[in-house]
Amino acid sequence: MYLWIKALHIVFIASWFAGLFYLPRLFVNLAQENDTVSRERLLGMARRLYRFTTILAIPALVLGLWMFLGYGVGMGPGNAWMHVKLLLVLLVIGYHHACGSLLKKFEHGNNKRSHVWFRWFNEVPVLLLLVIVILVVVKPF
């Protein structure tokens, strides 16, 4: 059963991060776009993607907690990497919520950030995922 949980966890993590990679790219376009019709189309895409990404995050987190609490993955001595990973997961959740907040600003016409800022913001989940994968695979400490 554990391997099924792990496999599904990986699938939902990959799907969640796909959304986190693409949503800020939509923000880049929204920050540059002046045409009302194009902005509305991009906003609709961003809304749907954020909702879908949120739905994907839930089983990813539940399955991860199931492995951690139910199977003791990463518990015990020699598993300090798991504490760092859990902290990074909290940062991913915070990033996800920040995307929701930024989306609301676009919806209300209150965005003050440039497309360049969103290009940099787009790199955050890439870096988080890179460190998380290294921690899980290498278990450096």
Record the tokens describing residue 137, joined without a space: 């695979």
Look at the alpha carbons of 129, 80, 78, 69 in this order and tell me if their dihedral is positive or negative: negative
pLDDT digits 0-9 by tens, 65-78: 999 999 999 999 99
Among residues 55, 54, 25, 29, the alpha carbon closest in space to that of 40 is found at 29
| Single pTM value for the model | 0.96
Burial category of 64 from C-beta neighbours within 10 Å (exposed 0-12, middle 13-18, buried 19 and up):
buried
pLDDT digits 0-9 by tens, 90-124: 999 999 999 999 999 999 999 999 999 999 999 99
